[in-house]
């Protein structure tokens, strides 16, 4: 063997693996540097698209649409109940005001629905409204002071008080005129009460404008001075309303047979604040022999009380009332059972244990 050479029969020498790896790494780095240099020297040119080539089609979604879940049996049954209840309520509403079911709607104006016709009667007379307006004068002073929460009167409150004093002077002058329309609306025995309301209010307003906000003691004296007149007006207003109401209802009753009168239903619209023992409610309770109203609809029979008023809402409420009574009588053996929370007695039983 000659140094530096080898014959074909000699086994070639192999390079250690570590050196092979090192050389490969160096070669890769060198190639990478060359490519980077070429890209820096010559800007890349994007291949031109064929002139008439169409843009690639948008990828279509391959996500399948979610399958509709079948309606659960209980959900379907509950939906059917609401549909059937709505249909039954429409049928009950349709009969109201017909030969089968005469209806009286009461809120200031009395409306009689009968044989497909609607007749209105005025219940709150001009006298009623006049006495109410006189009683509102001291109340307006009180609420204005309550609304003026600062230690001093705001410019708006002062302007309001000045305007009120001017109107009070005009009303007092009309009360002293025998032929004025204002005086004609006031019962003679109540003229002095109206003067008291106006004069006491005017005196307090004058003090407020000159001295500022009144003390609690001054307001109490004012209340004591006007309270008897307010009570007298309230008593007279109630009497006037009841007389008007009874006159119209008596005429309506005379036009019905006893059997038709027995089917009469009454819907009374009132405000939330005035609901308890409302005048017309007390009247119809006594007239129809109905029990006194208790909590909610728990004892309503022929009288339904609403805290809103409107012909459509009133009739729908009455229809709901009668439908629930019939359903409760048939299903639960107690026609009043659905006129309070169905769970009420059972909640009471458990609360006795839960909160004892």
Mean pLDDT, range 106-134, rounded to an integer: 95
| Residues sharing a CB contact under 8 Å with residue 213, sequence separation 6 or more, in sequence order | 145, 148, 151, 152, 153
On whether both 254 and 111 belong to a single domain, the answer is yes
On whether both 263 and 329 belong to a single domain, the answer is yes
On whether both 114 and 142 belong to a single domain, the answer is no
Would 9 be classed as within a structural domain? no
pLDDT digits (tens, 9 = 90+) for 81-101: 999 999 999 999 999 999 999
Query: What's the CA gap between 286 and 84, in Å, rounded?
Result: 36
pLDDT digits (tens, 9 = 90+) for 96-116: 999 999 999 998 899 999 999
Confidence of residue 27 (pLDDT cuts 50, 70, 90): very low
32/97: higher pLDDT: 97
Is residue 225 within 8 A of residue 196, CB to CB? The reply is: yes
Q: How many domains does the chain have?
A: 2
On whether both 196 and 273 belong to a single domain, the answer is no
* pLDDT of residue 9 exceeding 60: no
| Average pLDDT of the chain, as a whole number | 82
CATH number assigned to the domain comprising residue 267: 3.30.420
On whether both 274 and 326 belong to a single domain, the answer is yes
7/106: higher pLDDT: 106
On whether both 171 and 141 belong to a single domain, the answer is yes
Q: Is the whole model's pTM more than 0.75, yes or no? A: no
Would 90 be classed as within a structural domain? no
> What's residue 314's pLDDT?
79
Confidence of residue 305 (pLDDT cuts 50, 70, 90): confident
On whether both 209 and 304 belong to a single domain, the answer is no
In 147-302 the beta strands, taken as DSSP E runs, fall at 265-269
Mean pLDDT, range 44-72, rounded to an integer: 60
* pLDDT of residue 287 exceeding 50: yes
Q: pLDDT above 70 covers what percent of the chain? A: 79
Is residue 131 within 8 A of residue 233, CB to CB? The reply is: yes
Of 235, 266, 297, which closes a domain? 235
Mean pLDDT, range 203-219, rounded to an integer: 94
On whether both 205 and 265 belong to a single domain, the answer is no
Instruction: Give the domain range for residue 101.
Output: 96-125+240-349
Quick count: other Cβ atoms within 10 Å of Cβ 137? 21
Would 83 be classed as within a structural domain? no
Nearest Cα neighbor of 320 from 260, 267, 264 is 267
On whether both 119 and 247 belong to a single domain, the answer is yes
Of 235, 254, 286, which closes a domain? 235
């Amino acid at each position: 063997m000659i140094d530096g050479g080898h014959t074909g029969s000699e086994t070639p020498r192999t390079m250690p693996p570590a050196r092979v790896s090192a050389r490969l790494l160096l070669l890769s780095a060198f190639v990478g540097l060359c490519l980077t240099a070429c890209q820096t020297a010559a800007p890349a040119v994007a291949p031109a698209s064929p002139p008439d080539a169409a843009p690639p089609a948008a990828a279509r979604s391959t996500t399948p649409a979610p399958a509709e879940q079948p309606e659960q049996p209980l959900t379907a049954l509950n939906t059917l109940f609401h549909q059937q209840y709505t249909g039954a309520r429409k049928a009950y509403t349709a009969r109201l005001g017909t030969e089968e079911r005469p209806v009286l709607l009461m809120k200031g104006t009395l409306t009689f629905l009968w044989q497909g016709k609607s007749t209105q009667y005025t219940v709150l007379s001009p006298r009623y409204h006049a006495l109410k307006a006189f009683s509102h004068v001291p109340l307006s002073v009180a609420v204005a002071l309550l609304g003026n929460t600062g230690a001093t009167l705001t410019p708006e409150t002062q302007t309001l008080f000045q305007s009120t004093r001017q109107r009070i002077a005009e009303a007092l002058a009309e009360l002293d005129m025998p032929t004025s329309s204002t005086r004609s609306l006031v019962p003679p025995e109540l003229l002095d009460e109206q003067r008291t309301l106006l004069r006491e209010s005017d005196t307090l307003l004058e003090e407020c404008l000159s001295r500022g906000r009144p003390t609690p003691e001054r307001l109490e004296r004012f209340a004591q001075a006007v309270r008897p007149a307010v009570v007298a007006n309230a008593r007279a207003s109630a009497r006037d309303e009841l007389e008007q109401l009874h006159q119209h209802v008596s005429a309506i009753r005379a036009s019905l047979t006893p059997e038709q009168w027995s089917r009469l239903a009454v819907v009374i619209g009132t405000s939330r604040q005035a609901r308890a023992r409302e005048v017309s409610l007390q009247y119809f309770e006594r007239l129809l022999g109905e029990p006194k109203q208790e909590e909610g609809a728990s004892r309503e029979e022929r009288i339904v009380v609403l805290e809103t008023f409107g012909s459509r809402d009133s009739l729908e409420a009455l229809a709901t009332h009668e439908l629930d009574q019939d359903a409760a009588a048939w299903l639960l053996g107690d026609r009043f059972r659905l006129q309070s929370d169905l769970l009420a007695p059972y909640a009471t039983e458990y609360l006795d244990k839960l909160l004892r």
